[in-house]
Amino acid sequence: MSTDPTSMTRRTALAGACTLCAVAVTACATGQASQNGGGPVRVLRAEIDIGSATVFPEHRILVTQPSDGVYKAFSAVCTHQGCAVTDIDGDVAKCPCHGSKFRLTDGSVAKGPAQKPLPERIVSVEGNTLTIT
Ligand code: FES
């Protein structure tokens, strides 16, 4: 065993770095989605049912059609602690982590613990395609 005091410092630093790595891996394993603005996303209008929504987890967005021909899009990153909102249940989108629910019509909170609405994205319609920015 070394008696060099700088050796202990290196070991201590390495142990600290390993602890940080373990925390990062744990956060990733809980299904938390990162905030990601991303670029434009194109989806087909036919993928969105009237009065419902479709979640596109690969793009971290959900697209709704509250009434015939009216489309809205929201971030699918929960405003509580950042989990991915994955489920549509009637007129709400649900977060699986702590049970928050968001209205499909405007992204507002229908049930906490989330306090803020899902951030809205801009939807433009061209033919059969929706472009979300
Ligand atoms: S992260 Fe969605 S309810 Fe907590």
CATH dotted code for 41-132: 2.102.10.10
Question: Residue 109: phi, psi to the nearest 5?
Answer: -75, 125
Ligand 1 contact via 100 beta carbon (within 6 Å): yes
Residue of 92, 110, 55, 48 lying closest to 77 (CA atoms): 55
Residue pair 130/42 in contact by the 8 Å Cβ criterion = yes
Domain boundaries, the chain: 1-30, 41-132
Q: What is the pLDDT of residues 15-73, one digit of tens each?
A: 333 333 333 333 333 333 333 456 899 999 999 999 899 999 999 999 999 999 999 99
**Nearest ligand 1 atom, CA 98:** 3
75-91 tens-digit pLDDT? 999 999 999 999 999 99
What proportions of the chain, in percent to the nearest 5, are helix, strand and coil? Answer: 20, 35, 45
Question: Ligand 1 pocket, 33 CB below 6 A?
Answer: no
Per-residue pLDDT at 38: 61
pTM score? 0.71
Answer for the pair 54, 45: CB distance below 8 angstroms, yes or no: no
